[in-house]
Amino acid sequence: QVQLVESGGGLVQAGDSLRLSCTASGRTFSSYGMGWFRQAPGKEREFVAAINWSGRRVYYADSVKGRFTISRDNAKNTVYLQMNSLKPADTAVYYCAATGGRTYLSDDEYDYWGQGTQVTVSS
């Protein structure tokens, strides 16, 4: 069992930056691929970014490529999402998730989910 807790959300203006963190319980964090997803009001949850267990492979949605950076620190059981040049369209609840599989782009692949953290970007 893995428990995930996100933090770092908030209200910012367009163009600002935020860093989300997701800390996992348990001693097997380094064996999981980690992903960030988001869900805006009235919309389906969508993939944002993912990172494999070692941190050597990363994946991004086209909408955030070049603005967001995912990283992980296995010694701290934490995955990060650095979000720069934020836009109002980035407003959503952001969730981190853990997968024991080897594919990362679909939420169906993930076994564990955090409760989410709200990110609101004003224009």
Structure confidence at residue 101 as a pLDDT band (50, 70, 90): confident
Whole-number pLDDT of residue 8:
97
Residue 27 has pLDDT above 90, yes or no: no
Return the exposure string of 105-121: e unless at least 16 CB atoms fall within 10 Å of the residue's CB, then b.
eebebbebbbebbebeb
Per-residue confidence band for 1, with pLDDT thresholds at 50, 70 and 90: confident
Whole-number pLDDT of residue 48: 98
φ/ψ of 86, rounded to 5, equals: -65, 145
Query: How confident is the model over 105-123, as a mean pLDDT?
Result: 95
pLDDT at residue 41, rounded to an integer? 92
Q: Label residues 74-94 b or e (16+ Cβ within 10 Å = b).
A: eeebbbbbebeebeeebbbbb
Among 15-24, 27-36, 56-65, the minimum mean pLDDT is found in 27-36
For the segment 78-97, the average pLDDT, to the nearest whole number, is: 98
| Closest C-alpha to 59, from 46, 69, 71, 50 | 50
Contact status, residue 4 vs residue 112, Cβ threshold 8 Å = yes
